[in-house]
Each structure stands twice: as structure tokens, then as C-alpha cells.
Chains A and B, each alone.
Chain A
Amino acid sequence: MRHEIVAAQPATPTGVHPMTGKPAYLEIDGLWKAFGEFVALKGVSLSIREGEFVCFLGPSGCGKTTLLRAVAGLDLQTRGTIHQAGKDISTLPPSKRDYGIVFQSYALFPNLTIERNIAFGLENAGRPRAEINARVAELLALVGLASQAKKYPAQLSGGQQQRIALARAMAVAPGLLLLDEPLSALDAKVRVHLRHEIKELQRKLGVTTIMVTHDQEEALSMADRIVVMNHGVIEQIGTPTEIYRQPSTLFVADFIGETNQIPAKVLADDRLAVEGTELACAPHQLALDSNATAVIRPVDIIPHSMSGIDKVGTPENLIEVIVKEMEFLGSFWRTRLSSPRLGSRILIADFSINAVRRLGIAVGGAMRVELPGERLLVFGKAA
């Protein structure tokens, strides 16, 4: 498992995509960006294959927008090269590059109707009016807003404006679609709906897409691959499941989903000790006796009653705990557990409603939980 994650590390600029062996469509190599003293990108390398949907994910200030703007030619990188479809576009002005872009604000032209907005990029030398109109109609149908053609942007809802911005960006059939936090200005319900819609559209058109977002749920649900960034470096590149199940750094584990983090000492390459309690853990390469952080997600903790084992087979890392608090979150219970064996450390665990009922879990009660060794990840202290 581990070596696969390592393989998904920043690509070496060979021009060949490391996972598929197909030639890369977009090749970013050694990108640095300095704003005066502040360095926003620190040697970022990445390759994206044709038709892929990639999300740049990270907290604000991590450099994800800077990276997108470098690809778009809006903020020129200080060092490094970018190749698109085999062509060096590193220093080209935006108008000489091949991409469509959708901003958070949508930037629809307020004084032009929806159809004129979409047609804006089509009205070039000598293209016949009929052809333009046909293309506009096609795009409007594609985003499902054919009936709104004559309206002005201000007359549409946020979600509709967002789709128009998408249609306008796609009008000229660009090789690359750049989405800069396209959903963050929308309310939660519309956002979930549009996530799906954009993903569908992207699949249908097969356009290589980069989306910048700080919303992990958005990234996990939409992306083919996620690029997790922090402080101007790429922490991990991988599919949503890889990112979630096998985070390669503590930062990624912490940023994506929820975690319990427990200080531990390394005993062997699959054993560690927490407050004197020896636990099995996922294989790792940390030095013996070094300090580490053990990480387990609340959903990976398996509940058992004090008497029986709620599972076939032998459980690993079985620990007695006291239920301190319970919080009902609709589809599951979030519990706060205290374990004398782990130095009265509080563990957060999510249990299904069924399990709570079946095992009779209640505040103040004692129970046992299993921390499955393969789900107990270990990271060096410095990570």
C-alpha cells in the first residue's frame, strides 16, 4: 500500500504520466512563485493527463489559487515551466493560452444578455452569425437554460449564473477548463446539486479540468485526482479514496476528514506504544524508538460490548473505554470515549444508530472498542 502512495508523489517531468503511462496533457515542473518576501509556491511539479478532473485542495493561503493563476497566465510564476499539449506556455500571455475559466464571481457581463455573454468568445473575425447562434443554443441546452437566453445575468439565480459562466467558458471548446472556487458563492443545497452537474458535464465533454477548492467534500466527490497543498508545497496527489484512506502526511490526514491523533512511540515497523499500551498499526518506515503520531478516524473505530465480540475473527487492539458524551448527528452517533489504558485520553468515535441500540451504548457506560491495526496510521513527529 505504502509504495503506491509514494508513486503518486509529484511527478518527475518525464512527459509521461506516472500512473497511466499516457503522455501528460498539462506538465507543471518546478514552479516557484514569490510575492516579494512571501513565497507562495515552492517548487511545485505535477502532471495531468487528458480528460482528467483534478482538484487543488488546501486551506486558504496554501497556494492553490496561485497555482491555478499561473496555469492561466494571470500571475506569472517566478521560476519553472508549464507545458500544455506538448507546447511550452510558461511565459505566454493569457490570450495566447488555451483554456476557459470560471471565477467565483462568475464575472458575467452584466449589460449583455445570457446569449450574448455566451457568444462573446465566438464573435470573432468572419464567423457567420448563424453558426454562432447555433453554438449558443447548443451550449444553452447543454446547461439546461435554453429558456433564459434573452435574460440578463442579474435576473438569474446564483446557480443559473454559474452554469452560464461555464457555458461561456466552454463556448470556444478550450483544451483546459479552469474553475476557481466555482461553487463557494452558492448556498449548500445548490452547491451539492451543481457538484454533480458540473462533474456530469465535464465527463460528457471530456475536457481536462482543474478546480480549486477549499471544500474537501467537494474535492472528494468531484475529482478524479486531488492535489492537496499546504504552505506552497504539494502534500499528496491521489484519488479521493487514496487521499482519504492512505493520507501520506499528518497534514493530509488532519485536513481531510476527522482524526484522532495520539502521541506514540515506535516499537516495530507495525507496532507502537501509547502510554505503555502496545498496539498493532499499519506498516511504516519510521525509526525504532522514535516519537510518532498515531492517527485513526472516528468511523474506523469498531464498538464491542464488555462481554462479547461484535465481529467474526479476532479483534486487534481491543481497549476498554468509558462513554463520556454522546451527540446525535442524524445518521450516526458521535461519542467521546475515555480510556484509562491510553492515559485517559479522549477518543472520538462514530457509531451507527444500530450499533448503539444493539450494544446499549449510553453515557457513563463501559464498553470496548477495537482500533483496527491497518486503520491505525503512523506519522513521524515532524510531519
Chain B
Amino acid sequence: MAAATLTMPAGRALRPQMSSDDIIKRGLMIVISLYLLVALAAPLYVLLSKSVTTYHFDLAAFEIQRSDETGANFGPAKTAAALNAETHAITPEQLEAGSGDRLSVTRLFPDFSFRSPVKYRIRGMDSAASFLVGSELHRGTDWLELDSNTFRRVSLRPSTATGLDNFVSYFSTPSLTQAIYNSVLMGVITTVLVIAIAFGLAYALNRSQMRLKGLFRLVTTIPILVPSLLPGIALVYLFGNQGLLKEAMMGYSIYGPIGIVVGSVFFTLPHALLIVSTALAIADARHYEAAASLRASKWRTFWTVTVPGARYGIISAAFVVFTMVVTDFGLPKVIGGQYNMLAVDIYKQVIGQQNFEMGAVVSVILLVPAAAAFFVDRLIQKKQVALLSARSVPYQPKPNARFDWICFAYCAAVALFILTLIGVCQLAATVKFWPYDLTPTLKNFRFDLVDGGGWGAYANSIKMALLTAIFGTVIVFVGAYMVEKSEGFPLGRTLFQFLAMLPMAVPGMVLGLAYIFFFNNPANPFNAIYGTMAILVVSTVTHFYTVSHLTALTALKQMDREFEPVAASLKQPFYKLFFRVTVPVSLPAILDISIYLFVNAMTTVSAVVFLYSTHTQLASVAVLNMDDAGDVAPAAAMGMMIFYTNVVARLVHAGISRTLLTRTQAWRRR
């Protein structure tokens, strides 16, 4: 062989010259990465650092001198700690503080009188110690001389430290840690129930020849279209203190675990059904033929073929449901009563007690199950794909009158459950005082008569949902395109992919709180968007980023990898390919992403409940606030408005899809 010396010559690897396409692509990817950094990574970082930031009053950091009655002769300088050691005016517990707490310095002097001619001098022992005179900030080691009347307005600011003290105090408060147990218990019970119900439904829908399958599929998606509070309201109407069927509770209260479980089953069912159904739908008919040829009984076939085949779907669905229940805030807020759940605890700590650090602690705890579920799900997703071989033969169910009727009855029962809860809200919204005065009325829709933001909130919700759908779809799709269809820059693409997957593991309440910490900081250049529509849109896009991203990615992965090289060889810029081929071919996925974002933006409560302001109130939050204020019928009416809107949006989406698809997707027909 003519000698190729078999070692590579030394030197640096060649680097490609960048084309203008590469520069634009890289620029876009950096822009969207920055978006995710600002809208996700930075707030989460601030949240985490808040949870380990502790505040306490460090009395040793201040030194005070006091004069005699003449105001001229000052006594010896003493630290505040020394003064407190003499008087014990301030207990050690009172030295623990939140970031907003102030300590009035006159408490160190039990005999203090603001009318006395006594004068005081105060200074910090180091440059970090700071105190307020009125609202004026002082810092540093220079003495400040004040008369008594001014000195009474002096308050010390707490100093900060980093440590796990917040977690220690959380875990040493039984009323708080109880919430962990409660949340896990509710999560487990609901998960078991929902998986059982969803598996039955999926089995009936995929493996029987019963009638009205389409209708059942439609009904089981209804819960997606309403806020999670709505089933709570319905349950209150049915089984609450004045409920129609209160007797059926046999003395148990719907407010608490029972209501949470039933309501959670309602709102998590469609999600579980979707996953389990997909798992069952990909079953390979040949396995069943093999089982039949081995004369396995139906029961044995079910346990040896059906269940193992769907096991990844079941595990995945279980984690999704568990996470949803544990992180949901709306439902337990409405029907949880005194039963403490983690997500509600965040709300209580932040909104109720203004204890932001403790809110951050609960948030971090809430991140644990969500993140765990996320990683398990990712692991399983990889295995699930392997099950789906290209040569699978789809399973075709055979008619079986008795089995089909059982399936039908089962599905009808589940559908009845869903329709009843929705129907109760519908009725309650449109009669005078359900169930006592059933005169039809629209008075419950006069939202301006009650607190919560009125029709303006509804208009805001529509606006927010539209903006989320439009901007979210653009950001998500362009981002997914850059990850999937650009060459080189592997580190950037991996980082981007990680950021895009992260929102799945972050509960809405956690994101909302992180946004408060991050954006409501005057030093933050993005502070301007705090309290505006923009922050609501940003938080919602970010909250629902992952599923949208995966949808876009799936669509893009199905596209031929060689399109970009072909376009480049034809000297066409990538954006021409993008607009003429990539976008049209991905149109179904793009429309799916936008409707997903719209519907979720209409129903979401968790992140935005921390972020809305008086002029950006939202319909879903209004449901919460009206219910809280006792205006339950208007709350139900507003909930139904969200439902109607989402139904209309779905119809419009279906209409647009059909029109666009017939017009632009003629190529799909052979």
C-alpha cells in the first residue's frame, strides 16, 4: 500500500469558516438561551439563594453612646449587645428576623423618653452594619449624633448570613412539615386511583369495539379546559356545607382530603389517559397472536402481554399525576379546608405572612418530588421508544358484545362523573341560588359587582393567553429548530436543551415565587416588567415551555436531516428553507403548540397568582379570589367563562387546522 503514514500530522484541527447562516443561527440561539436564562435559570437561582439566606439582628455590630440630661456629656460607648445584656429587653427569638424586619433601637433603653433632652450617638462597628433613621439609610463607622426625638425613629436592619437555618426552623415546625406528609399522601392516593381509572378507560377505548368512542374521548379531555379550582367549586356545591348531597358524605367533610382526592382525580385524568392510551395503542398485535396460539387464557394474556407492554406508560403517567397533585395549588385552596398542602403553604407563607424566606424553603422542598418525577420520566421515555419497533403490527380489536357493553358502561360512568362536576358549575352559574332557587339568571356573570377584577380580568386573560400563544410558539419553535437543525456549537446546544427541559421540573408556585425574588428587585434591569402583562406572559411561556419544546422537537426530528445541506448546496439561506418548507411541514405541530399554550394560559393559577397586579388581574385568579371572598356562584360563572373560551379556542383551532391543512398540506395526500 502506498504509504499513508498512519499518524495524523500534529497541529490544530481545522476550523470552519462561518457562513452568514451560521452567524444568524448562532445569534438566534443565544437570544433564546438568554431568554431562558433570564426567565428561568436566574429566578430559580435567586430563589435557591433566598432559601439559604437567613436574617438576624446582630447587636454586636452597633455601638451607642448616651449623654446625660444636659445633652453635652456622653457616657462610654457600648455595643447594643452589651446594652441588651444589661436590660434583657430583646429576647433571642426576637433577634431572628425576616428580610423586611426592623428593630427599634429605643427598646434597648427601658427608660427612653422622646421628650428628654438626652442625646444619643450611634454607629456601626463595621461598614456592613446599617440602620435607618426614619426611612433614611445610614451605614458605616462614623458616629451619628441624634436628639431623643430623632433617636426614637432609629431602627436596626438585620444582617444576612448563608446557612440552612431556614430549613432547620421549617423542619422543626410540625404544622409545616405536616404539609409534606399530606401532599405525599394525597399524591399517592390520587395516583393509584387515577391510574386505575385511566387504564380502564384506555383499555376500553383501544381494545373494544364499543360505540361512542369519539364522544368519550371528547368528554375525557374536558378537565384540561378548566382551572383545577373548578372541580373544587363543583364539589362544594354538591357536598359542601349547603350541598345538595351533603347527606351522602355520611358525616365526613368534603373540605379536606376527600375533596382534594376527588377533585385531583378529575383534573389529572386526561393527562394520565393520554399517556396510558398511547402506551396501549402501540401494542403489537403479534404478541396477542402468539399468546392466542399458545392457548393462554384472556386473563393470563392481560397480565403477561397487556400490562407489561404498557408498563412504561403507566409508570410515566403515575409520575406525571403525582407531580400534578403535589404541586397543584388551586384545588386545595378551594376545597382543602384546614388540610395543609405544600403548594398552598407557599401561598400562605408569601401572601398571608409575607414570610418570603419560608416560602422559598417550601418551594425548594416542592422542587424535590417534581424534579425526581422529571428524571424518572426522562429515563422511561428513552426505554419506551425502544418498544416501538417499526415493524409492529397494530392490534385490531374484535367485536365482543358482552365485553363491549362492559366497556361502554364503564366509560359512561367516568363520563358522567366529569359531566356532573362541569354541569353543577354550569347550573350554579346560571341560576339564582343553587340548589334552592333555580330561577335562570345571568346575574352571576355581572362580575363587576364583585371583587376579583370583573370582566376586565376576563379580557386580560384572553389577551394574556393570545400573547402567550403567539410569542410562546415563536420562541419555542425557533429555539427547537436551532437545537435540532444547526451544526456545531455542541456545548451551547446541550446547555440550551437542558434549559428547555428544566421548566417541567419546576412547579408553577415555585416559578412564581422565584419571579418575585428576581424581578421585584429594583437593582434588576428587568424590574420594569414587574406588575405588567409582560411578566405574566413570560412566566406562562416559561412554565409550559417543556411540553411545547418536545412537541416542536418531535415534529422537527421527523423532518429529513438533509434539507439543510441541500438548501445550502443550492446557495439558499436557511430562513428561506425555514419559511418555505420547515414551517409549512411542521404546521400541525405549531398549531398544537399554540393551542396548548392558549388553553393553559387561560386556566393556570399557580405562577401568575404571585405576579398579577391590580390592572393585570386574570380570570383564573378571579375564580380563586371570588371563591375566597364567598362569591362562589360568580366564581363558578367565571370558571365556566374560561371553559367556554377554551372550547371556542379548540373549535377555532380545529377549524384553522383543517382549512390550513387542506390548503397547504395537499402533499400529504398521495
- Residues of A at the B interface (CB closer than 8 Å) are 6, 9-10, 30, 32, 34, 39, 42-44, 72-74, 76-80, 90-97, 99-101, 103, 105, 107, 109-112, 120-121, 123-124, 152-155, 168-169, 171-172, 174, 233-235, 248-249, 383
Contacts and interface: CB of A to CB of B under 8 A. Distances in A.
Contacts of A111: 581, 584-585, 664-665, 667
Contacts of A110: 581, 585, 667
A92 B17 CA distance: 5
B570 A79 contact: no
B562 A105 contact: yes
- In the A-B complex, the 9 residue pairs with the smallest Cβ-Cβ separation, listed nearest first, are A121-B570, A93-B19, A107-B562, A152-B667, A94-B568, A9-B2, A43-B4, A103-B562, A95-B568
Contact of A154 (B19, B21, B566, B668): B668
Contacts, number: 130
B304 to A, nearest CB: 39
A171 B667 CA distance: 22
A32 B16 contact: no
Contacts of B339: none
A121 B572 contact: yes
Contacts of B215: none
A342 B480 CA distance: 66
A246 to B, nearest CB: 15
Given A101-B565, A120-B567, A109 B580 contact: yes
A6 B16 CA distance: 34
A77 B14 contact: yes
Interface residues of B, number: 40
Contact of A78 (B13, B566, B571): B13
Contacts of B572: 95, 120-121, 123-124
A3 to B, nearest CB: 13
A100 B569 contact: yes
Contacts of B5: 43
17 contacts: A6-B2, A9-B2, A42-B4, A44-B4, A74-B487, A76-B15, A78-B13, A91-B14, A110-B667, A111-B581, A112-B580, A120-B570, A121-B572, A154-B670, A171-B570, A234-B4, A248-B1
A107 B665 contact: no
B16 A235 contact: no
Given A94-B19, A101-B565, 12 more contacts: A34-B13, A72-B565, A77-B14, A78-B8, A93-B17, A95-B571, A111-B584, A111-B585, A111-B667, A124-B572, A154-B670, A169-B569
Contacts of B218: none
User: Chain B binding site: helix, strand, loop or mixed by DSSP?
Assistant: loop
A94 B565 contact: yes
A154 B5 CA distance: 48
User: Chain A binding site: helix, strand, loop or mixed by DSSP?
Assistant: loop
A79 B14 contact: yes
B9 interface: yes
Given A110-B585, A154-B670, A101 B569 contact: yes
Contacts of B570: 100, 120-121, 168-169, 171-172
A62 to B, nearest CB: 13
B168 interface: no
A93 B667 contact: no
Contacts of A97: 569
Interface of B: 1-2, 4-6, 8-9, 11, 13-19, 21-22, 487, 560, 562-563, 565-573, 580-581, 584-585, 664-668, 670
Contact of B571 (A42, A79, A109, A172): A172
Given A74-B565, A107-B562, A109-B581, A79 B665 contact: no
A79 B13 contact: yes
A262 to B, nearest CB: 21
Among B2, B15, B566, B585, chain A packs the most CB atoms within 10 A around the CB of: B566
Contacts of A99: 569
Contacts of A100: 569-570
B558 to A, nearest CB: 11
A103 B664 CA distance: 26
B571 to A, nearest CB: 6
A89 to B, nearest CB: 10
Nearest to B664: A111
A30 B18 contact: no
A233 B4 contact: yes
Contacts of A90: 14
Contact of A94 (B2, B569, B580): B569
A6 B3 CA distance: 12
B2 A109 contact: no
Contacts of A44: 4
B560 A155 contact: no
Among A74, A169, A249, chain B packs the most CB atoms within 10 A around the CB of: A74
A103 B22 contact: no
A155 B667 CA distance: 8
A44 B487 CA distance: 24
A107 B560 contact: yes
Contacts of A72: 565, 569
Contacts of A109: 563, 580-581, 585
A101 B665 contact: no
Nearest to A76: B16
Given A78-B13, A79-B8, A111-B665, A249 B1 contact: yes
Contacts of A124: 571-572
Contact of A105 (B22, B560, B573, B668): B560
A313 B15 CA distance: 64
B21 A95 contact: yes
A278 B89 CA distance: 117
Nearest to B560: A107
B9 A30 contact: yes
Nearest to B1: A249
